[in-house]
Every structure is written in C-alpha cells, then in structure tokens.
Amino acid sequence: MITIVFYILSAITLGTAFLTILSKNPIHSAIYLVLCFFSIAGHYLMFNAQFLAIVHIIVYSGAIMILMLFTIMLMNLNKEDERHKPILSRIAAVVSFCLVAFVLLATFIKAQPALREYKVSGQDYQSIQVLGKVLLNDYMVPFEFASVLLLVSMIGAVLLSKKEHINS
C-alpha cells in the first residue's frame, strides 16, 4: 500500500519537475513547480515528518512561489522571449547541481547514526519539541548564522529598492 503511494508520488514529483523545465509558458512552469512542491510535502508526510511537510508548504508553495508568480504576472512574460543561454553556463549549472547533490547525499548518510540513536531511545524525533531542542541546543550556531544571513539579505533587498527610488 505504502509502496504504491510512494511510486505515485514519485511519478508526480518527477513528471511535474520535468514539465516545469519543458513548458514554454512561464506561468505554467511556475504552477507545475507548485505541484512539484506539494508532492515533495507528500514525501515528507510519508516519513511522518508533519512539521517539515507543513513548513515546506507554507514557505515554498505559500510564500516563495506566490511571489514568483506575482513577478511573472507583473512582468507579463507571456511571449516566449526566452534568451538563448551559452553552452558554458549550462554545463556549469549541471556541474554545480551535481556537486550540491553530492554534498546533500553525504550529509544524509552522515545523519543516519543520529537517527538510529533516536529510534533506539524511542523518542518521537519528528515532533516539534525534539526538533526545537536539537535546533537550539546542538545546532545553535548554524541556526543563528542562518537567521543573520536572512536578515542581511532582507536589508539588502530594502537597500536596493531604496536606491532605485532616489535615482528616479
């Protein structure tokens, strides 16, 4: 039963991901990407990671993709005026994606022992209580760095929009 659900979800994830790249209309691409994000949230739910699934939906489908759709609609990219990208940048994109995938794989393999510890101790490691404790005790410094990074990018965005305003 669970295997069948997994295969259906995977088919949806891969299909919508390909359609995101292949469809000519940017709005259709964005909508396929939203569907892709939803199916990824479904994968999280299959691991019983409810918090992760919901946060994924709120952040990616609910905020980032809406802003993306917003921009595409305002820019009115209906015409297929896609610029041709040079071969070199395409190769660079593929290589950098492979490297990121490699790093992710390494992290997940390293994360396995920690998971086993939780499984042995019988704690509900998917619950927000455990997640919050781990995030603010064991991974305090990276967590704070991430928040500083977000703050810096936010201030940067505000600064960029301000400058344009003064020039015009």
Partner 1 sequence: MDQAIIIEKGIFIVAIFAITMLFAMYETLAERKIAAWLQDRIGPNRAGPGGILQPLADGLKLFSKEEFFPATQNRFLFICGPAISMITALMTSAVIPWGSSLNIMGRDVVLQATDINIGILYVFGVLSIGVYGIMIGGWASNNKFSLMGAMRAASQMISYEVAMGLSIIALTMMTQSLSLSDIAAGQHGWRWNVLYQPVGFLIFLVCSFAETNRTPFDLAECEAELIGGYHTEYSSMKMGFYLFAEYASMFISSTVLAVLYFGAYNYPGMDWVKDNAGANIASILGIGVLFIKICFFIFFYMWIRWTVPRFRYDQLMKLGWKMLIPLAIANIVVTGILILFFDNNLHL
Where does this chain bind partner 1 (CB under 8 A)?
Answer: 27, 31, 34, 50-51, 54-55, 57-58, 61-63, 66-67, 69-70, 73-74, 127-128
CB of 69 to partner 1, least distance (A): 6
CA 3 to chain centroid: 24
Round to whole Å and give the CA distance between 115 and 134: 12
Amino acid identity at 125: Y
CB contact at 8 A, 42 and 9: yes
CA 143 to chain centroid: 17
CB of 17 to partner 1, least distance (A): 19
Round to whole Å and give the CA distance between 97 and 118: 31
> What's the Cα-to-Cα distance from 89 to each of 83, 84, 92, 159, rounded to whole Å?
13, 11, 5, 29
